[in-house]
Amino acid sequence: MLRSDQIRAAVHTAAADAERFLCGLIRFPSTPGAEQEAMEYLAARFAGLAEVERVPLANNLRDDPEYSGLIPGIDYTGRCNLRLRVPGAGVGRSLLLNTHVDVVPASDGHQRPFDPRVEGGRVIGRGACDAKGQVAAIYAALAALRSLGIKLAGDVLVHLVVEEEVGGNGTAAMVRRGERADACIVMEPTALQVMTATRGAVWFRVRCTGKSIHGGRATEGVSALDSAVRVIELLKNYHARLLGASRGIPLFDRYPNPMPVLVGKLEAGNWPSMAPASAVLEGMLGFLPNRTREQVMEEIRQAILDGADPWLREHFTLEFLYRHDCHVLPAGHPLGEGLLACAREAGAAAEISAMTASCDACFYHNQLGIPTVVFGPGDLRFAHAPDEQIALEDVATAAAALAGFMTRWSGPAD
* C-alpha to C-alpha distance for 269 and 208, rounded to whole angstroms: 12
- Beta-carbon count within 10 A of 178 CB: 8
To the nearest whole percent, how much of the chain has pLDDT over 70? 99
Residues 64 and 192 in one domain: yes
Q: Are residues 281 and 236 in the same domain?
A: yes
Q: What is the CATH number of the domain that holds 183?
A: 3.40.630.10
pTM above 0.85, yes or no: yes
pLDDT band at 213 (very low <50, low <70, confident <90, very high): confident
Which residues, in sequence order, are bridge partners of residue 281? 206, 266
- What CATH number should be reported for the domain holding residue 309? 3.30.70.360
Question: Across the beta sheet with 117-119, what order do the strands follow?
Answer: 117-119, 122-124, 389-391
pLDDT grade for 218, boundaries at 50, 70 and 90: low
Amino acid at site 160: L
CA angle 304, 308, 311 (to 5 degrees): 125
Q: Structurally, how many domains does the chain consist of?
A: 2
User: 53: domain range?
Assistant: 4-198+326-410
Task: Please tell me whether residues 252 and 166 are part of one structural domain.
Answer: no
Burial of 361 (0-12, 13-18, 19+ CB in 10 A): buried
pLDDT at 74: 93
pLDDT at position 110, please?
Answer: 80
* Type of residue found at 397: T
Closest by CA position to 181, among listed 406, 413, 414: 406
The candidate with the shortest Cα–Cα distance to 189, out of 135, 143, 153, is 135
Which residue, 92, 317, 56, 281, is CA-closest to 183? Answer: 92
Task: Give the start-end residues of each E strand in 57-94.
Answer: 80-86
Check: CB of residue 195 under 8 Å from CB of residue 359. Answer: no
Domain match, 28 and 152 both: yes
Residues 366 and 291 in one domain: no
Do 113 and 77 touch, CB atoms closer than 8 A?
Answer: no
Shared-domain flag, residues 112 and 207: no
Mean pLDDT, to the nearest integer, of 380-387?
Answer: 92
216 lies in the same domain as 193: no
Please answer whether residues 181 and 370 qualify as being in contact, where contact means their C-beta atoms are separated by less than 8 angstroms: yes
**Angstrom distance (rounded) from CA 61 to CA 355:** 28
- Comparing C-alpha atoms, which of 407, 350, 410 is closest to residue 3? 407
DSSP label at residue 72: T
CB atoms within 10 A of CB 271: 10
Residue type, 140: A
Q: Looking at the predicted structure, is the pLDDT value of residue 214 above 80?
A: no
DSSP string covering 159-191: EEES-TTTTSHHHHHHHTTT---S-EEEE---T
In this predicted model, what pLDDT tens digit does every residue of 91-120 receive, in sequence order? Answer: 999 999 999 999 999 988 788 999 999 999
Q: Which residues pair with 56 in a beta bridge?
A: 80
Given 308, 324, 340, which residue is the final one in a domain? 324
Residue 374, amino acid: V
| Alpha carbon distance 191, 378 (integer Å) | 5
Average pLDDT over the chain, rounded to whole?
95
Give the separation between CA 398 and CA 375, rounded to whole angstroms.
8
Q: Is 86 helix (H, G, I), strand (E, B) or coil?
A: strand
Q: Considering the chain, what percentage of its residues have pLDDT values greater than 90? A: 90
| Same domain, residue pair 311 and 330 | no
Within the chain, how many helices (H) and strands (E) appear?
A: 10, 16
Query: 277 and 210, same structural domain?
Result: yes
Task: State the Rg of the chain over Cα.
Answer: 23
Which of 324, 345, 366 is the C-terminal boundary of a domain?
324
Helix (H), strand (E) at residue 392: helix 392-410
Q: Pick from 276, 294, 324: which residue ends a domain?
A: 324
Residues 270, 253, single domain; the answer is: yes
Regarding whether 333 and 232 lie in a shared domain, the answer is: no
pLDDT digits (tens, 9 = 90+) for 264-280: 999 999 888 888 999 99
Question: Do 150 and 214 share a domain, yes or no?
Answer: no
pLDDT tens digits for range 121-143: 999 999 999 999 999 999 999 99
